[in-house]
Amino acid sequence: MSTTFQLDTSTSRANPTPQVMKRLTVPAIRARKKDGVTATPLVMLTAYTARQAQLLDAHCDILLVGDSLGQVIYGLPSTVPVTLEMMANHGAAVVRGSYHSVVVVDMPFGSYEASPEQAFESAAFLLKQTGAAAVKLEGGAVMAPTVAFLSQRGIPVMGHVGLTPQAVNVLGGYGARGRSDAEAEKIVSDAKALDEAGAFAIVIEGVVEPIAIAATQAVTCPTIGIGASAQCDGQVLVTEDMLGMFERVPRFVKRYEDIAGVIDRTVARYAEEVRSRAFPTEDQTYQPKA
Ligand code: KIV
């Protein structure tokens, strides 16, 4: 049965019918991997708006308010210019639109790298402003002290290793990582360092498959793959990519729909009906009461 939403005018919150399940928790996500095995892989998608969250929520375990919103929503050239305020605004919208999934908000570039204290201040701001349950940050062993600092102070952290898009200016592009022995070893040791520091889950992005599998087997917390392996403990995609909103499809994306095509055809019909005065009809106009 599909979910419908009723606007509660006193809270401005759209309440779902039927009432969806209770919201999952970070410990429940962490506990999905037991003795190295995740029986049912974790489902994670990006969400940036309340309506998008409403549509995705019941199907997902985790909604990620990714800093990919820089490119997807704002048309920026990379995630580097994304600000804490952007993440806070979109994070709050996604929390308002969801009832079931754990909402994780990305820490944007420049908001956490300088010190664990800087990271705590930024992460606390995001959790207070949004009501989200956790943050995600990019980087491996070098970020482990920050992950420990936050986790020990009440802020659950999702790690992110392999291809880390915020480091595009150092990496020189978005190619897959882990092709050399040194890079492969670093990805696995980065994942282990984050796991030991207390990360509740780790995104493994754009990594050659055997290394994604080795990293997954090396850590006790769930790994979530994107361009990694079906043997990760879960998967994430940018929702707009998998829905077919963009012409450019990265190799690791499966396009499940052609929403761009649906929008193009629908808007063409609307434009044609406006120009021919076929819209609006009597059904869409107000007439004086008889
Ligand atoms: O920002 C994002 O959307 C992400 C995912 C692609 C993992 O970090």
At 2 the pLDDT is 67
Is 138 assigned to a binding site?
yes
At 290 the pLDDT is 81
| E-assigned strand segments in 206-246 | 223-226, 234-237
- Dihedral angle, C-alpha 217, 220, 222, 226, nearest 10 °: -40
Whole-angstrom Cα distance, residue 23 to residue 273?
44
Cβ of 46 less than 6 Å from ligand 1: yes
CATH superfamily of 22-276: Phosphoenolpyruvate-binding domains (3.20.20.60)
pLDDT, mean over the chain: 95
At 12 the pLDDT is 61
pLDDT digits (tens, 9 = 90+) for 58-109: 999 999 999 999 999 999 999 999 999 999 999 999 999 999 999 999 999 9
Output the six-digit token pair for 120: 């705590």
Closest residue by Cα to residue 254 from 270, 236, 267? 236
pLDDT band at 56 (very low <50, low <70, confident <90, very high): very high
Which of 117, 196, 205, 247 does the annotation list as catalytic?
Answer: 205
Q: What average pLDDT does range 250-274 have in this prediction?
A: 97
User: Which contiguous run of DSSP H or E holds residue 126?
Assistant: helix 116-130
Phi then psi for residue 36, to 5 deg, are 80, 5
At 106 the pLDDT is 98
- Distance from the alpha carbon of residue 183 to the mean position of ligand 1, in angstroms: 21
Whole-angstrom Cα distance, residue 164 to residue 129?
25
Whether residue 151 has pLDDT greater than 80: yes
Q: What average pLDDT does range 247-267 have in this prediction?
A: 95
Whether residue 1 has pLDDT greater than 70: no
Q: Is 205 a catalytic residue?
A: yes
At 10 the pLDDT is 60
Cβ of 236 less than 6 Å from ligand 1: yes
At 11 the pLDDT is 59
Q: What average pLDDT does range 120-134 have in this prediction?
A: 98
Cβ of 50 less than 6 Å from ligand 1: no
| Higher pLDDT pick, 83 / 11 | 83
Phi then psi for residue 183, to 5 deg, are -65, -40
* In the chain, % of residues over pLDDT 70: 95
DSSP3 helix / strand / coil % (the chain, rounded to 5): 40, 20, 40
Which residue has the CA at smallest separation from atom 4 of ligand 1? 66
pLDDT digits (tens, 9 = 90+) for 30-41: 999 999 999 999
Cβ of 238 less than 6 Å from ligand 1: yes
Whole-angstrom Cα distance, residue 20 to residue 22?
7
- Distance from the alpha carbon of residue 238 to the mean position of ligand 1, in angstroms: 7
At 234 the pLDDT is 98
Atom of ligand 1 nearest to the CA of 136: 8
pTM: 0.94
Cβ neighbours of 160 (radius 10 Å): 28
**Residue boundaries of the structural domains of the chain:** 22-276
Whether residue 7 has pLDDT greater than 90: no
Query: What is each CA distance from 226 to 160, 164, 209, 223, in whole angstroms?
Result: 10, 11, 11, 10
Whether residue 16 has pLDDT greater than 90: no
- Distance from the alpha carbon of residue 154 to the mean position of ligand 1, in angstroms: 23
Cβ of 229 less than 6 Å from ligand 1: no
